[in-house]
């Protein structure tokens, strides 16, 4: 009987949320880069980047709350 890696490794729900937020950030980054390369105006691309930064900060806050990411300084 085979198991998927996700079934073998039991992760806390909040870590899964942080990982999903990081994956969404990566997708948004690709979207913004493609839009910028295709010549989209700055007024379109900058809000995408701002949303990306907000999601990244949220994922970082979740990771710090659960001590997966040490605080610096």
What are the pLDDT digits (tens) for 15-26? Answer: 777 778 778 888
Q: Which range is least confidently modeled, 7-11, 21-25, 40-44, 47-51?
A: 7-11
Q: Quick one: pLDDT band at residue 38, thresholds 50, 70, 90?
A: very high
Q: Which helix (H) or strand (E) holds 27?
A: helix 13-37
Tokens for 11, please give them: 């992760």
CA 38 to chain centre: 23
């Amino acid at each position: 009987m085979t198991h998927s890696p996700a079934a073998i490794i039991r992760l806390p729900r909040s870590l899964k949320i942080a990982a999903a937020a990081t994956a969404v950030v990566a997708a948004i980054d690709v979207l913004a880069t493609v839009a910028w390369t295709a010549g989209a105006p700055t007024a379109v691309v900058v809000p995408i980047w701002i949303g990306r930064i907000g999601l990244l900060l949220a994922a970082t806050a979740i990771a710090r709350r659960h001590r997966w990411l040490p605080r610096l300084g």
